[in-house]
Amino acid sequence: MADLGLTGIDVDRDTGQVRLHHRAPGGGEIPMDFRTEESMGTHAWFAFLGPLLVVLDSGTALLVDELDSSLHPALAAEVVRLFQDPASNPHGSQLVFTTHDATLLGNAVLDRPLDRDQVWITTKRRSGETELYALIDAKPRKEENLERGYLRGRYGGVPRITAGEITRELSRREATA
């Protein structure tokens, strides 16, 4: 269902070796060794899938640092929707996660999987301290494009850097070396 192109899985009971079978061009399957031939995204999805299913079955909370790490934004949005849908989350499990994926705030591409009152933002103060505050404290309008507003710095939580600043600094240092 995660559109990994999988048609099956084999586990060698003696060695524990896992082989995922993928659709092959023109039909058929191609077996691939999980440890050495699969992508980081496939590894991330399988590592995440076990805890995800356990939490949905038990009605507990899942804490995830960097939900978007090695997951496509559409797949991350589907994970959020799993927790919001009573059919897939009948026990009221909770998902608490960090992310840099601003598309989860958008409404055009991913149908805004997060509501304004579900988002908290962190910002680094000049003193080095991190501040955590609710997005609704920034008073975004109900139909405002949250993704655009966030990326433009309207709510805070974005790095204080201008376009090309790193390149200019590297060039300046190279010129003085």
- Per residue in 86-98, pLDDT (tens digit) is 999 999 999 999 9
Supply the pLDDT for residue 27: 83
For 85, phi then psi, to 5°, come to: -95, 120
Supply the pLDDT for residue 89: 97
DSSP 114-149: S-GGG-EEEEE-TTS-EEEEEGGGG---TT--HHHH
> Each residue of 54-70: pLDDT tens digit?
999 999 999 999 998 87
| Structure letter (DSSP) for residue 103 | G
| Structure letter (DSSP) for residue 59 | T
Please state, in angstroms and rounded to a whole number, the distance separating the CA atoms of residues 116 and 104: 11
* Alpha-carbon torsion angle 16, 54, 7, 31, nearest 10: -20
Please state, in angstroms and rounded to a whole number, the distance separating the CA atoms of residues 128 and 123: 10
- Which ranges of the chain have pLDDT less than 50? none
Supply the pLDDT for residue 119: 94
Please state, in angstroms and rounded to a whole number, the distance separating the CA atoms of residues 62 and 81: 14
Residue 130: partners with Cβ closer than 8 Å, 6 or more residues away: 122, 123, 124
Contact criterion met (CB below 8 Å) for 82 and 52: yes
Supply the pLDDT for residue 85: 94
